Each structure stands twice: as C-alpha cells, then as structure tokens.
Amino acid sequence: MNKEQPKYQQPLSAIYTELETNEQGLSKTTAQARLEQYGHNALNQQKTTTVLQKFIAQFKDFMIIVLLVAALIAAFSGEAVDAIIILMVVVLNAIFGVFQESKAEEAINALKEMSAPDATVLRDGQLQTVKSDELVPGDIVSLEAGDIVPADLRLIESASLKVEESALTGESVPVEKNAETLEAGDLPIGDRLNMAYMNSNVTYGRATGVVVATGMQTEVGRIAGMIENADETTTPLQANLTQLGKSLTILILVIAAIVFGIGMLRGSESLIDMLLTAISLAVAAIPEGLPAIVTITLALGTQRMAKRHALVRKLPAVETLGSTDIIASDKTGTLTQNKMTVEKLVLNQQLVDARATELPVDSHLAQTMILSNDTKIMSDGLAGDPTETALIQYNLDQGYPVDQLLTDKPRVNEVPFDSERKLMSTVHPLSDGRFLVAVKGAPDELLKRVTRVETDGQVTPLTKPVRDQILAINHELATQALRVLAFAYKEITTIPETVNTDTLENELVFAGMVGMIDPERPEAAQAVADAKSAGIRPLMITGDHRDTAEAIAARLGIIDEGDDDAVITGAELDAMSDSEFNHKVKQYSVYARVAPEHKVRIVNAWQKRGKVVAMTGDGVNDAPALKAADIGIGMGITGTEVSKGASDMVLADDNFATIVVAVEEGRKVFANIQKAIQYLLSANLGEVLTLFMMTMLGWQILAPVHILWINLVTDTLPAIALGIEPTEKNIMKHQPRGRSSNFFSGGVFSSILYQGLLEGGITLFVYWLALTYPVHASSSLAHADALTMAFATLGLIQLFHAFNSKSIHESLFTVGLFRNKAFNWAILAAFVMLAVTIVVPGLNGLFHVTHLDAYQWGIVALASFSMIIIVEIVKFFQRRHMRQA
C-alpha cells in the first residue's frame, strides 16, 4: 500500500491493515502502548516568553539604541538630568510595548483548548467514554449530533451525518458525509466526504470512524504547526523607523567627526572643547522624542479605533492599516452573515422575493417547510441544521403560526433524509382522519416523484412544459449561488404498514421551491466600495463552491457580474507553480474551495509584489494567513480564539465596514507621524547647521545645555500635539502609499532640507546681526547677547515652524489655526518654558544667557515669524506645481 495515498482514497480494509485495527477497536493494552508511541491527542503548546524577555526585546529596536547612545552622550557632557529624561522615555516606551504584546502568542494555546474533552470509543469491543487526548490511531470512535469530532477520522459508516466544517473550510453549510471510498485525488477538505476532522461539529445524524491522525498530525495540528512556524512580518512603520535610525546614526557620526577633525586641525580649540562641540552636534541631530511621539500617536490612535469597535493588539498595526493595498477577506461570517436565509420563493410556478411575499395560513408550501423539518424551537432560539432553521425562521419572521401548526399536526411517522435519494418525508394527522405527507428535497430528485402541481390552490396534472419551467427556475436560482430546496405533499387515508421511500414518496403534489443563501452583510457592499475608492483592492477567499463565491463577490462589488476570469479555485491554484501564480495573481479577486496553505500562498504572492496585505478571518483555517499578513484582522464575535490570538487587530462588531474606518484612522496616524518627523528633523537640521557653521566661522557656539533644553521644549509637547491633528480632507481619496513609501515620501525629504537650512540660516543671521550691531559696547556682553538671541531664535523659530507642519502641502490657513486646541496650548507651554530661561533671574545664569531688551526680542520675534511667511510661499508654488503635474 502507498502510504502517501490520502486516507480518503484508501479502502477501509487497507486502513485497518495499516493501523492494525478492526471494527471492534483496539484493546486497552494496545491503546496504552500507542499512547506512549504517538503521544497525547493534543496540540503542541507554543513556548512562551517571560515579561522580562519581552521587556528586553523592546531594546533591540535601532532607534532605541540610538536614544541610549544619546543618553550616554548627555551624561558624558555632564547633563545628568537630560540623560535621565531620555532614559525615562526609553523605559516607558518599552513598558507600553510589553503591555500591548503580552498576549501575542496565544494562538496555539487557544487551539489546544478547543479540543473536545471526551470521546466515545470502542475498546475491547465495548463502547466507553475516554478523554479525547487519550485517543490513538486505530481507535474506533462513535459520533452523534452535537459532538465535536475529537480527531481526524476515516468514516466507517454514516447515517445522515452532517458536519459543520466552517472553521476549517470557510463553508457555512454543513457537509453531508458518507463512508464511500473516493477515487479523486488532491481533494480540498470540503470535498473529502468520507472524512471527519478534529474540532469540526456534528450537526445531524450519527457515524462511526477510525482514527487516522491525532494531535499535531491532524489537519488542525497542521494549521497549528503553520502558525508556530510562521515568520513575524516587519510592519512598514517598523521598517521606516529602523531605516530612519540607521540614516541618522550615520549622519550624526559623519558630521561630528568632520567638526571634530576640522576643529583639531585649526588648533584654536582644545581637545575637550572640540569633543563637547561634537557631542552638542550629536545631541542636536538626535530626535530624542521621536519614539515616544510615535508611541503616543499610535496609542491615541488605538483609543480612537477602540471607540469605533476596532481593537488593536499591536501598536504598529494602526499605522500598517493606513498603508494597506490589499484586504484579503474570508467570506463566511465576515462579508456574509454566516447564517442561511430564505431569499427567493417559487410559488405558483413563479419566482418571487421571499421577504415581499406573505404565505397564507393554509399554504401547503409553508406547511411542508415547517413540518418536514427537524429544527427544535428552544427558549433561546432555534437549534438544528442551518438550512432547516432558516426555513423555520423565515416563517416566524412572516408571522406564520409555527407553534400552532406543529401542535395541531404532530409528526407520527417519517422517512429520514438520505444523501442518496436527497429527500425527507414526514407524516402528520389531519382533522378529518386522513394524513398529510410533507416532503422536501433536491428539486431534480423530488420532481421524479411528482405527478401533480398546485397553482393558486388548484391541483392539476404536471405537464412537461410546467416541469421544464420549474427546472429552468431551479437553474436560474443555482446560477445565483442560491441553495434550492423543493417541497411537495399529498394526503393519504392510511399510513402504509411499511413506511419507506417506495410506499410514501410517490404521486406527490408540487407545492413550490425556496432559494436560500448565506447573505452578505448589509454594510459590506458599501465597505467594499469605500475600500475601492481608497485605492484598496478587496479579495474574497472562501471554502465555498466557485459559483457561490462568484455570485456573492459580484453582489458585493468585489468583481463585475460575469467576470469569471477573476475567480480561481484551490485545485486550479495547486496546478500553478509559484512563479506562474505570482505572475497571474493580479488577475484574481475571488478564491473558492481553498485550504489554509492556499491563503498563506495568496498573501505571500501579493507581498512579493511589494503590496501591504491585510487579512481578515474568523476560523481556525485563517490563523496562518492572519499571522503571515502584514496585518491580521480577527473577528471578535464569531471568531475563534485561535484567529484572535493570531491577529494584530480584532473587530469587536465583526463588521467589515469597521475595517474601512480603521484604514482611515491608520492613514491619519501615518500622516501625523510624518508631520512630527518633518517638524523634528527640520528643527534638528537647523540646530546642526547652526552649530556646524558657528564652529566653522569660529563664533562662540551654543552649549549642549542650550541644545538639550531647546530639544526638550520643542521636541515634546508641540510634536505630540501634531500627532493628534484632525484628519485632513480627502485622506480616503488618495491611493495607498504602499510598502515602497516611507516617511520621507511625498516631498517630505526636500521640505526637511530647505526648512532645516532656513531655520539654521535665520538663526545665524540673527547672531551675525547682533554681533554687527550690538546693543552693548562691551565685546563680551555683545557676544553674550548674540548667543542669547541665537538661542531664543532657534527655539522660537521651531515653535512657529510647528504651525507650518500642521500639513505637508496645505496652507496653514486652510488647515485651520484653532482646530487643534491641544496644539495651541502645547505651543504656549513650550514658549513659556523657553522664555523663562532668559527672563527669570537665576535661571539665565544656569543657562549662560543674558536678559534681552524689547528691541532684541523684536528682532528675535520677527526673524522667527518669517519662517511661516517663507514656508507659506514655498507651499503655494508646490501646490501649483502638483496641480500642473
């Protein structure tokens, strides 16, 4: 026997031989020996990291390392307070990161907890209950409605067995199972009708099966292994910050080395003076507050998103949403409601809308829908097969007296549903002593038993034209991906001695048909349209059949009606090589009959094209792709703990439209971080230029304490306030910036350069002006005043420039001066902190500055305010150029 051959292709005799078992099951002794050989029927528990390990891991970020170096530099220069402040920022950032990610590795544990606690198994020929984790290959297991399948089983016998496998396949309708050997190879899980898989649910019937795989060897175990081995993706934000940190470090080292070298060659400064100068340059170049600002901006974003039902588990996920190019969404429960609903009726041989049609109390169609039905009406809802509960729910919604009908016409006999004949019949007493036979089933099979048809209450013989008309309507409903059931009835005087299909299911009267579907969520179509208008491509990935997937996708607007080329099945995907699929991936928007590995492959293919991929899902089968995606989005209500544990973000309301809201918030977060970065780096460039030119010109330079204080004042409150700027107009009309973009894209880099040069140039001009036209005749006082005016200008010009940074390209007067009250208070507080060092007696001595008179303050204010005027003029020409381009 070929052991590589799938179990569903192997005859039972071959499986018994391979597993050394039979229909009587294993002995207790053999079972115990195999338990030691194979291990417990449980999933591996993922290794967890301690809080300390998580905390230490936060310090591996490159920008954090840069900040630690900055703290050392500040401490070396004697500024212990500044070193402590920087270290506090770093530690707080690490603590917040640990808090956000403390539950990031719960996926495997959640899978383990899903396992069924008990199983009914044959041991020594006797049925007994054992813990499911004690099952071993070769055990014979009994299944009944309501059971959770405890291991992967090859079915031995099946009696009307239906298994709900949506957590594995994404298909919402329970699958009818049988024990027949299948000849076809490479079947997706949903088509392996003689297999029952671990953690799926038995919704109807009963069966026995032989255990062919346990623990990590099961399909669920394979998924768990995929989650365990999945690589953690680096978010665009993390990549951008790492790149920024490296670039800044190189820049800092080069500039500091140049200044130190030139100063030593000139010989006019001592070694220690030039070392302190180089340190000042390094401190000026490092944006100490950037990681804290990024963290705070992201944290505030998560709070806003939580209020709108999007719960973020990992901070960088907020920004990643803003760069999303692709949303790959599971259909069942995400785009659809995960419940069957009656949508169409065929009444009097005419197709009508179910919601707009009220069936009369004496309607045979309504009666057969209710009577030929195994649904149980419970105090907390309906229990039973989703197709049957949909029929009852429809009649309840229409106000039909369901309870009264079931009371007046109790079931006295039946022919249960059989997957071969595809029919179900029940017998009910009538008030005149006769009996009503209610029959439902597949239309083509039911019509074989029909001889008459009811039209407007009149029963007439079924003619070929009428039969053809019914079959045509059936075909039309099928092409719309509706599941069609037909209903018939007849009245009999006595119940046959032998009740079976031959004695009961004949000479029937056709009553009508219903078309059912797992309907799309009401808001999903608009959410898809909003995503498309934002330049985001939605994909639908499902375990459902091709026709169903295509119809739902067309109704949602994911694909155009009849666009068959945009749909591909898992089998077709298997037939493609990776290179071929990567080449064709842009063609497909709908993936049907897929397995978990297909989903990961789809995500990876788009990522290889440089796209940022978000994956939504709620089932166990979605977890590997959720983890492989740039951002995994789990469902909070219908989602399994596995999918939630593997996600970066969870939708509290399971609403696809919430994703669009989250994308908007993500774009806003990125825009605000970008504004803060432009502000910080242009300000720091101005500081570096000022120090560099002062050194080159032999002027008295600003001390480390000046630079550190300016950084503390201007790099914190104003930059944080920029992080909470209101959303700019039309932010959801732009194309996604994608993976290739960074914080310097969109003209930001050039803006940083010219604005930094402008800040440094204006500061140097004020210094030169104060030296050239001194207020005091004393040379030492003139130099002290010039240094103080340069210090005040460098600080104040950055506060004015913060107003410029409220938008990259838009005018300050368009964005609005007073929309962000927190920003205005931050600027005021920062100005007070800057001014007190100059005007408060005692503090100016600590900061080595002098008092300035009104004339000197006027020069500082005018020079600093000119920053707004010049930048507004540049922005005007930038906008004009962008409109012409």
Please state, as a whole number, how many other Cβ atoms lie within 10 Å of the Cβ of residue 682: 26
Helix or strand or coil: residue 755? helix
Q: Per-residue DSSP letters for 350-389? A: EEEESTT----TT-HHHHHHHHS---EEETTEEES-HHHH
CA distance 815 to 810: 7
Where in the chain is CATH 1.20.1110.10?
236-305+667-884
Q: d(Cα 137, Cα 217) in Å, to the nearest integer?
A: 10
Q: How big is the CA angle at 296 (ends 295 and 297), to the nearest 5 degrees? A: 95
> What stretch(es) of the chain map to CATH 3.40.50.1000?
320-337+521-660
CA 603, 607, 611: angle at the middle one, nearest 5? 115
Strands (DSSP E) contained in 36-151 are 118-123, 126-131, 140-144
Which residues, including other chains, have CB under 8 Å from residue 203's CB and lie 6 or more apart? 145, 162, 163, 164, 174, 384, 385, 386
Stretch 74-94: mean pLDDT: 64
Distance in angstroms (rounded) separating the CA atoms of residues 712 and 292: 12
C-alpha torsion sign, points 627, 632, 636, 638: negative
CATH 2.70.150.10, the chain: domain bounds: 7-38+110-229
Q: Show the CA angle centred on residue 741, arms to residues 740 and 742, nearest 5°.
A: 125
Q: Give the domain 320-337+521-660 fold.
A: Rossmann fold (3.40.50)
Give the H/E segment covering residue 483: strand 483-492
The helix (run of H) or strand (run of E) holding residue 491 is strand 483-492
State the Cα–Cα distance between residues 455 and 793, nearest whole angstrom: 91
User: In the structure encoding, which two tokens stand for residue 544, read together?
Assistant: 């459902």
Q: What does the pLDDT look like over 581-625, one tens digit per residue?
A: 999 999 999 998 887 678 889 999 999 998 999 988 776 667 777
CA gap 686, 668 in Å, rounded: 27
pLDDT band at 108 (very low <50, low <70, confident <90, very high): very low
Cα–Cα separations (whole angstroms), residue 757 to 133, 464, 684, 688, 690: 69, 88, 10, 10, 9
Would you tell me which CATH number, out of the four given (3.90.180.10, 2.60.40.10, 2.70.150.10, 3.40.50.970), belongs to the domain 7-38+110-229? 2.70.150.10
Q: At what angle do helices 364-371 and 386-397 cross, to 10 degrees?
A: 140
- The CATH number that domain 236-305+667-884 falls under is 1.20.1110.10
DSSP state of 218: S
Tell me, what amino acid is at 32? Answer: Q
User: Where are the CATH 3.40.1110.10 domain residues in the chain?
Assistant: 341-517
In this predicted structure, what is the pLDDT of residue 642? Answer: 66
pTM of the model: 0.64
For every residue of 29-40, DSSP letters joined together read HHHHHHHHHH--
Is the pLDDT at 726 greater than 50? The verdict is yes
Does domain 341-517 sit in CATH 3.40.1110.10? yes
Beta strands in 132-220 (DSSP E): 140-144, 152-164, 175-176, 195-196, 201-213
* Mean pLDDT across the chain: 83
Q: Which residue pairs from 256-261 have beta carbons closer than 8 angstroms and sit at least 24 positions apart in sequence?
A: 256/281, 256/282, 259/691, 259/692, 259/695
Asked if residue 506 has pLDDT above 80, the reply is: yes
**Residues marked as catalytic:** 330
> Which of 302-316, 385-399, 629-643 ranks highest by mean pLDDT?
385-399
Q: Copy the structure tokens of residue 489.
A: 């009835």
Please list the helix, strand and coil fractions of the chain in percent, rounded to the nearest 5, in that order: 55, 15, 30
What pLDDT, in 10s, does the model give residues 746-798?
788 888 899 999 999 999 999 999 989 888 777 778 888 999 999 999 999 99
Q: What is the pLDDT of residues 36-47, one digit of tens each?
A: 999 988 877 656
pLDDT band (50, 70, 90) for residue 211: very high
Residue 110's pLDDT band (cuts 50, 70, 90): very low
Q: Give the three-state DSSP class for 213.
A: strand
pLDDT, position 704: 66
Query: What does the pLDDT read at residue 437?
Result: 97
